[in-house]
Amino acid sequence: MSHDTILIAAWSGRMLAASARRAGYCPLVADAFGDSDTRDLVAAIEVLPQAFTEGFKASTLILALDRLAAAAPTPPVGLVLGTGFEECPKLVDELAKRWRLIGCGADAITLAKSPDTFFGLLAELGIPHPETRLEAPPSGEGWLTRRIGGSGGTHIAVCRPHVAAHADRYFQRRLTGEPVSISGIVGRRGYGLGFTRQWVSPMPRRPYRWGGAAGPIALDPDAEARMIDTVVALTPRLGLVGLVSFDFLLVNGEPLLLEVNPRPGASLDVLDDASGSLFRAHVEACLAPDSSEPLAIAPPADETRAIAYVYADPGPVRVPAIEWPDWAADRPLAGTVLPQYAPLATVIANGRDSENALSICRHRAQQLQQMIYGTSQGKETNQ
């Protein structure tokens, strides 16, 4: 087992830090929240609270990573990036000049997140996807608008009747289907993939806000094969390596590719094992891409795991001092003030199948909201 230190930067670093710990690494985290369980996992943490609403800035993030690296017991082996970097490939390029990047670089992010390039490539390769365009449709009816480089589902909105084009948005035909994702390790050393079912947690004007995921799941063998073929075809063309995810919509059994996330996604919480094999494989795939050794990835678990995000939907809240249940993660420090609709925590459950695990998650999410909002300390006022 390695005890190397490793830098992690993400809006929330808890998931990556937990997997790194399971894999035997000593994580050093820069994130936007500084949650209590993240602090318990790391050797050191730098909290950049403006990053979640304003994005990571090179000036503050580089200084934070410098401080973490300087305080590390051993020189960090590299830097792992999570959420928060899809819309700033130039920043990723700057970071890669200072630290060894463990994950997809700026070129891969640009290719995956530039709609003209990405959907042009899908058309070239004959990969099915919803009708997509940069110019505004004649009528917004039946269309979605997506912010380029966005994540978490809040970047997706239903078009208004007379929608106008914007430089930072593109348009996609609105379809009904089952959202599924294929996530795992990709690269020259092979593939280790798992399927998850996704769901949404709608909020006003943002009906596609990400709600959670469950897996591993089994799909129709033909659909699975076509999704894997898509991953294999796109990985070298986009320059993908390490932990990534591909989001699909199953429409009448046909998988339509929606987007590629060139970074570790939330499915890591679902698919990783007790030894952190996915995180370890991520590091190995990126630091030794030409090795002849196969990546050691645990087989899919027999039991389904689900995660669900809990949001501050009832209203602004000052987080009270509570005894957090062991099935809750991403735990804000007591006294943290969260605005309405902000991420509050994550709940986790195991079940016999995805529906059972999801049902448990929903019950636990309600329990947690009652714990947070059911105390006088948890009710934030405008006074």
pLDDT of residue 253: 94
Going by pLDDT thresholds of 50, 70 and 90, the confidence category of residue 264 is very high
d(CA 362, CA 348): 10
Has residue 325 been placed in a domain? yes
83 and 184 housed in the same domain: no
- Cross-strand bridge partners of residue 243: 185
pLDDT at 1: 39
Task: In whole angstroms, give the CA distance from residue 95 to residue 55.
Answer: 15
* Same-domain check for residues 324 and 270: no
pLDDT in tens, 320-338: 999 999 999 999 999 999 9
Number of domains in the chain: 3
DSSP run (H or E) holding 54: helix 51-54
Query: Cβ of 274: how many Cβ atoms within 10 Å?
Result: 8
Residue 307 backbone zone (phi > 0: left; psi -120 to 50: alpha; other: beta) = beta
Evaluate whether 101 touches 92 at the Cβ level (below 8 Å).
Answer: yes
Orientation angle between helical segments 115-125 and 221-238, nearest 10 degrees: 120
Same domain (yes/no): 181, 219: yes
Q: Is the pTM of this model over 0.85?
A: yes
In this prediction, residue 380 has a pLDDT band, given cuts at 50, 70 and 90, of low
Q: Give CA torsion, residues 57, 210, 337, 82, to 10 deg.
A: -30
User: CA-to-CA distance for 254 and 51, rounded, in angstroms?
Assistant: 38
Residues 247 and 326 in one domain: no
Q: Are residues 204 and 277 in the same domain?
A: yes
State pLDDT tens for residues 131-181. Answer: 999 999 988 899 999 999 888 899 999 998 888 888 889 999 999 999 999
Structural domain that includes position 231 = 110-287
Percent of the chain past pLDDT 70, that is, above it, reads: 97
With a pLDDT cut of 90, the percent of the chain lying above it is 87
User: With 50 as the cut, is the pLDDT of residue 99 above it?
Assistant: yes
